[in-house]
């Protein structure tokens, strides 16, 4: 073997520096991506929550606990008449939990499909009770906790359904962007432009062709998630696949659209921290949306993965049917798809102009 020569190492290093110096996008990515990602992760991991929808049924007593819950500004309190109202609203996903104050004890109803939120509510009730305990020492007041959903859920169970969406979104986005880059670089796209094929037909053809693979991919992931990791599938597998297909179609047109801003496969890879990672952090898969700081939260609500994750959790963990997730989840996914379908189609033409 030849001995390493410092001079040659220097030649290679110099070339790398020269190339990078001209690649402003990569420099931008090296400098700004960590800042953006650290801010996102930092906020999401801070554990602070806001906008937790808590039902309160006040049948008397526990003034200190009640005052404590009301004083927590991260809780949006909704006053309810009965336990059955609370249960209904939780099962519809409109409440994250409820506290029933009764003279003989306290009942806490929780939705464990987000463990962090149910943990936060339980902790707040504990804190309130300990204040109350301080004011009337001696008597033990029972707290009964009841899970409306998922009393037996583990971390994987709540994350699993969303991972199904994430996997499909990630691969479809990357594959579609690369496929369109290739159409451009090998000259086929230009040839399409001079053929009877319209832009709408090109993008539609891609959606149709990719759907087959999306279906295959989501079916395998679903099998692994349910049989391999024991995540419950209480709703219909077909409904889950329908959600994933719609998400995949959105990822495809998004990838097609963003391929216009990349010149090579290398640059497509650079989209991962910019487009995929924020979705992972902000879509409520690992951390509930309530823990996303309020000024970023509107952003969560324009990301398709937010709706797909929500719908998939509803189908798999709560047994929701297609009618239950039509609004807002399927509607939002549909709108996202249509917007980027139009954008991708228009960009194909613009690129030629």
Of the candidate spans 76-84, 181-189, 267-275, 308-316, the one that interacts with another protein by CB under 8 A turns out to be 181-189
Helix (H) or strand (E) holding 317: helix 304-318
User: What is the Rg, in whole angstroms, of the alpha carbon atoms belonging to the chain?
Assistant: 25
Q: State the distance between the two ends of the chain, measured CA to CA, in whole angstroms.
A: 54
Decide: is 350 part of the binding site for another protein (CB under 8 A).
Answer: no
Residues 283 and 189: their CA atoms lie apart, in Å, by: 34
Q: Taking Cα atoms as reference points, which of 278, 318, 258 lies closest to residue 92?
A: 318
Of the candidate spans 115-123, 183-191, 251-259, 275-283, the one that interacts with another protein by CB under 8 A turns out to be 183-191
**Least separation in angstroms between CB 185 and another protein:** 8
**For another protein, which is the closer residue by CB, 323 or 353?**
353
Decide: is 264 part of the binding site for another protein (CB under 8 A).
Answer: no
Label the pairing between strands 97-102 and 52-58: parallel
**Least separation in angstroms between CB 205 and another protein:** 10
**For another protein, which is the closer residue by CB, 103 or 196?**
196
Q: Which residues contact 293 (CB under 8 A, 6 or more apart)?
A: 43, 46, 48, 50
**For another protein, which is the closer residue by CB, 84 or 188?**
188
Decide: is 185 part of the binding site for another protein (CB under 8 A).
Answer: yes
Q: Which of residues 85-144 bind another protein (CB under 8 A)?
A: none
Q: Is the dihedral of CA 89, 94, 98, 102 positive or negative?
A: negative
Decide: is 193 part of the binding site for another protein (CB under 8 A).
Answer: yes
**For another protein, which is the closer residue by CB, 312 or 347?**
347
**Least separation in angstroms between CB 340 and another protein:** 24
What is the residue-wise DSSP string for 130-142? HHHHHHSTTPPPP
- How would you class 98 by CB atoms within 10 Å of its CB: exposed for 0-12, middle for 13-18, buried for 19 or more? buried
Decide: is 186 part of the binding site for another protein (CB under 8 A).
Answer: yes
Ramachandran angles phi, psi of 235, nearest 5°: -95, -165
Decide: is 212 part of the binding site for another protein (CB under 8 A).
Answer: no
Give the three-class secondary structure for 90.
Answer: helix
Of the candidate spans 135-143, 158-166, 192-200, 242-250, the one that interacts with another protein by CB under 8 A turns out to be 192-200
Decide: is 191 part of the binding site for another protein (CB under 8 A).
Answer: yes
Decide: is 263 part of the binding site for another protein (CB under 8 A).
Answer: no
CB 336 within 8 A of CB 249: no
Q: Which of 71, 188, 220, 264 binds another protein (CB under 8 A)?
A: 188
Q: Which of 71, 82, 195, 220 binds another protein (CB under 8 A)?
A: 195
**For another protein, which is the closer residue by CB, 193 or 215?**
193
Give the three-class secondary structure for 229.
Answer: coil
**Least separation in angstroms between CB 28 and another protein:** 24
Helix (H) or strand (E) holding 98: strand 97-102
Q: Which of 138, 142, 187, 323 binds another protein (CB under 8 A)?
A: 187
CB 276 within 8 A of CB 304: no
The site that binds another protein (CB under 8 A) totals a number of residues, namely 14
Decide: is 352 part of the binding site for another protein (CB under 8 A).
Answer: yes
Helix/strand number for the chain, H first, E second: 16, 5
Q: Which parts of this chain interact with another protein (CB under 8 A)?
A: 185-188, 190-197, 352-353
């Amino acid at each position: 073997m030849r001995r390493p020569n410092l001079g040659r190492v220097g030649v290679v290093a110099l070339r790398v520096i020269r190339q990078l110096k001209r690649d402003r996008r990569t420099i931008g990515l090296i400098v700004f991506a960590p800042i953006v990602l650290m801010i996102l992760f930092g906020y999401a991991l801070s554990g602070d929550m806001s906008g937790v929808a808590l039902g309160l049924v006040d049948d008397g007593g526990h003034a200190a606990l009640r005052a404590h819950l009301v004083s927590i500004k991260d809780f949006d309190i909704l006053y309810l008449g009965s336990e059955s109202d609370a249960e209904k609203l939780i099962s519809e996903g409109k409440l994250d939990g409820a506290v029933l104050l009764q003279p003989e004890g306290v009942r806490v109803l929780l939705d464990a499909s987000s463990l962090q939120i149910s943990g936060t509510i339980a902790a707040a009730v504990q804190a309130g009770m300990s204040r109350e305990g301080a004011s009337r020492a001696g008597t033990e007041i029972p707290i009964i906790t009841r899970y409306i959903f998922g009393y037996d859920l583990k971390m994987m169970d709540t994350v699993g359904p969303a991972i199904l969406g994430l996997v499909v979104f990630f691969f479809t986005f990357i594959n579609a962007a690369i496929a369109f880059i290739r159409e451009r670089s090998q000259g086929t796209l230009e040839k399409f432009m001079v053929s009877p094929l319209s832009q709408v037909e090109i993008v539609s053809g891609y959606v149709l062709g990719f759907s087959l693979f999306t279906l295959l991919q989501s079916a395998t992931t679903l099998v692994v998630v349910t049989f391999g990791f024991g995540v419950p599938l209480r709703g219909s597998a077909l409904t889950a696949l329908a959600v994933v297909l719609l998400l995949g179609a959105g990822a495809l047109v998004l990838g097609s659209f963003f391929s216009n801003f990349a010149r090579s496969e290398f640059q497509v890879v650079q989209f991962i921290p910019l487009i995929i990672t924020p979705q992972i952090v902000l879509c409520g898969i690992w951390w509930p949306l309530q823990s996303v700081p309020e000024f970023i939260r509107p952003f969560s609500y324009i990301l398709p993965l937010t709706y797909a994750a929500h719908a998939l959790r509803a189908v798999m963990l709560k047994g929701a049917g297609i009618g239950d997730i039509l609004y807002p989840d399927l509607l939002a996914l549909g709108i996202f798809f249509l917007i980027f379908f139009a954008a991708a189609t228009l960009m194909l033409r613009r690129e030629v102009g």
